[in-house]
Amino acid sequence: MDFIKKNLWLFIAGGLALALLLAAVVFLYWQVSGFRGVNTALSEEQDRLQELHRQSPYPNEANVQVVQSNLFLLTRYERQLTDQLRQGQIEERKMQPVDFNYYLQTTIPKMFAQAEQQKIGLPAKFAFGFDTYYHAGRLPALADVPRLTVQFQMIEALFHLLSAARISEIVSLERTRFDQITAPGGEPAGVGRLQHAPPAEETAALKAKYAIEPPEAGGLYTREHFSLTVAGSDEIIMGLLNALARSGAAATNQQKIFAVVSRLSLTSYEPGEKKTADGRRPAGGVRRPASRAAPPEPEAENPAPGGKVVPREDPRPQEERVIAGREVVEAQMELDLFRLTGKAQEPAAP
């Protein structure tokens, strides 16, 4: 006991040193165990990474089957929707050039008869943009006939829509001139033109701007461009614009047209003003509606309906007509008429 008492501080220091040693051993064991765990996890991740590197980068077969099934369903739905939208739309007609001219000779007089019946004014010797074929009797090129039939059917459907809207006058109607006119001997005579048609360079620019298949179409649709000027009261013009907006859903003379008004200009005028010699109204000033012209003069081989449509003038002053909503308005518009083809191009491979 005397030895312990004499060396008490030594025993205390040894106990503390032993406790610290035990703590150091425990801490070391804990660190070594943690290191082994981390090393094991790292080794597993490396093995998994190597396994992923050895695998194929493409999706597995189950995913491929699901994607193909979805693609099939979407494609079938797209075709059903396109077929539904194409029902009742205008389609190309296969015919010979002489049959196309006969088609014009039999249809245009009927349109004039309808215009005369409904008191719709038309320019003199109006041929709805087909003067060269209807009046001059020239034959179109065989390759141009299908598109010409589409253009004329669109004009016919558009005329019936104008007739249903009860417009007062069709001032002008022009189509995209793409066709090559053949002379009586059968040789091409250049690009067909209407009266007051733009020069060749402007025609080429219009052909490029209003191509039958725009670059963004992707084979889904084609487009025909028309310039139309009509006259009528503001209420009738607004009704016409609404009819054009829903033309893709409603049947127009048993045929649907998908019309988009790309440009619109409205001008009011008063009755009594005369047209110039070329059939146009003077530029500037207060404009007035010209008297309605007669249909094309009868020809020996193609008698057209006669008679002249007399315009009904409103005796009220312009202020009263504006208040009553009866002021005559001339609407100049650019129209794009679309056709769905249902021939979508396959997407390009990445």
Structure tokens at 221: 């649709």
Q: Is the model's pLDDT at 74 over the cut of 90?
A: yes
DSSP string, 89-157: B-------HHHHHHHHHHHHHHHHHHHHHTT-BB-TT--TT-HHHHTS-PEEPGGGHHHHHHHHHHHHH
Quote the distance between the C-alpha of residue 272 and its chain's center: 39
Cα separation, 193 vs 204, whole angstroms: 12
Q: What residue segments make up the domains of the chain, in order of their start?
A: 2-54, 61-89, 91-340
Tens digit of each residue's pLDDT (9 = 90 or more) over 52-69: 888 777 777 888 899 999
Mean pLDDT of 35-46: 91
Whole-number mean pLDDT of the chain? 75
pTM, rounded to two decimals? 0.61
Structure tokens at 179: 């066709």
Strand partners, 140: 181
Tens digit of each residue's pLDDT (9 = 90 or more) over 141-178: 888 899 999 999 999 999 999 998 899 899 999 998 88
